[in-house]
Amino acid sequence: MNMIVRFPKFDYSDFKFYWSHNMAFSQERNATAIIPSPVEPWLIRLLQEAAPELPEDHAWLKEDTQKFIAQESQHFRQHRIFNKLIAESGFPRLVEMEAELAADLERFSRTKSLKWRLAYADGFETLGAVSGSLWFEKSDEMIGGLDNAAIRLWKWHMAEEFEHREVCFQYFRAIYCRGFVNRIVNGYFYRLYGLAFAIWHLRGFSARAVKYMRALEVERMSAAERRQLAADIKAFNKFQRRTFLKPLLANFLPWYDPGKKPIPKGLFEYLRKFEKDGEWSAGQKLTA
Ligand SMILES: [Fe+2]
Ligand SMILES: [Fe+2]
């Protein structure tokens, strides 16, 4: 898949809780940020466990796994810094919510099969792939003309999610979808179950985090700000339906293949800024 491991540097000295044009969009993304920090280290452990199960003709996927792990290691580390800033800006319960998600994932590791966990992981990963085109082709209404560390973090992360969108899908396919029956039963129905469960499970956490933050924010706001927030929520919901929920429907089709998704415009050009000698790069370092 020709993936690159990048080591970005973000300057949060001008960090603001509202970093986009739309307050509801910032609230929603700030809430969603509690997801990658526990999920992505769990994904790393999952692929380390699954790698020995890959068929012998999948050496290429083992190589991609190393890069996937290195990319996700950067993602969750960077999100932890971002999440700390958000929690410290007046939302301490986010830390508990993140810990609750981590506890759920630990429970899955103890009680669920490798097949179940890979289907869940693929569901999570395909959500990131949908976000690639949202951030690079459809986000003007929310962030057009803006540039700050929060936007750079999300765009870098979602661009790399797009870049490695196939890894978990190929794992599931290689291990559980061999032969005609498995290709249909696991490759379609079980994959959909994993996707639907991941959406339901993760959406539960982000929706709770949005509700919590929004309730605190509304208490602090003036009447005019509350009116603005109500208008922003309306516009954001419309945006979300058009840019995320509608494209997500493609993931439910039997012939869905993340590798065939068209590359969002400008995605790799943007990523180059985080590569060695790029203006937003921290230089080349070893991952722990
Ligand atoms: Fe990630
Ligand atoms: Fe990922």
User: What are the average pLDDT values for consecutive 10-residue runs of the chain, which has 288 residues?
Assistant: 91 94 98 97 98 94 95 96 96 98 98 98 95 96 97 98 97 96 95 97 98 97 98 98 94 93 96 94 63
Ligand 1: centre distance to CA 198 (Å): 15
Distance 128 CA to ligand 2 centre (A): 7
What Å distances lie between residue 70 and 64, 159, 224, CA to CA? 10, 15, 45
Q: Which ligand is nearest to the CA of 165?
A: 2
Kindly state the helix (H) or strand (E) to which residue 253 belongs, with its residue range. Answer: none
Helix and strand numbers (H, E) in the chain are 13, 0
Closest ligand to the CA of 36: 1
Task: Tell me the domain boundaries of the chain.
Answer: 23-272
212 CA to middle of ligand 2, Å?
26
Q: What gap in Å lies between CA 236 and CA 232, rounded to an integer?
A: 6
Distance 110 CA to ligand 1 centre (A): 23
Q: Report the separation in Å between the CA atom of 40 and the middle of ligand 1, taken as the mean of its atom positions.
A: 6
Ligand nearest 156 Cα, by number?
1
Burial annotation 224-250 (CB, 10 A radius, 16+ → b, else e): eeeeebeebbebbeebeeebeeebbee
Rounded to whole angstroms, how far apart are CA atoms 35 and 33? 5
Q: Tell me how far the alpha carbon of residue 133 lies from the centroid of ligand 2, in angstroms.
A: 15
- B/e letters for 15-45, b = 16+ CB within 10 Å, e = fewer, are bebebbbbbbbbbbbbbbbbbbbbbbbbbbe
pLDDT at 284: 58
DSSP 261: S
Q: Which ligand is nearest to the CA of 167?
A: 2
CA of 76 to the centre of ligand 1 (A): 7
Going from the Cα of 98 to the center of ligand 2, the distance in angstroms, rounded, reads 18
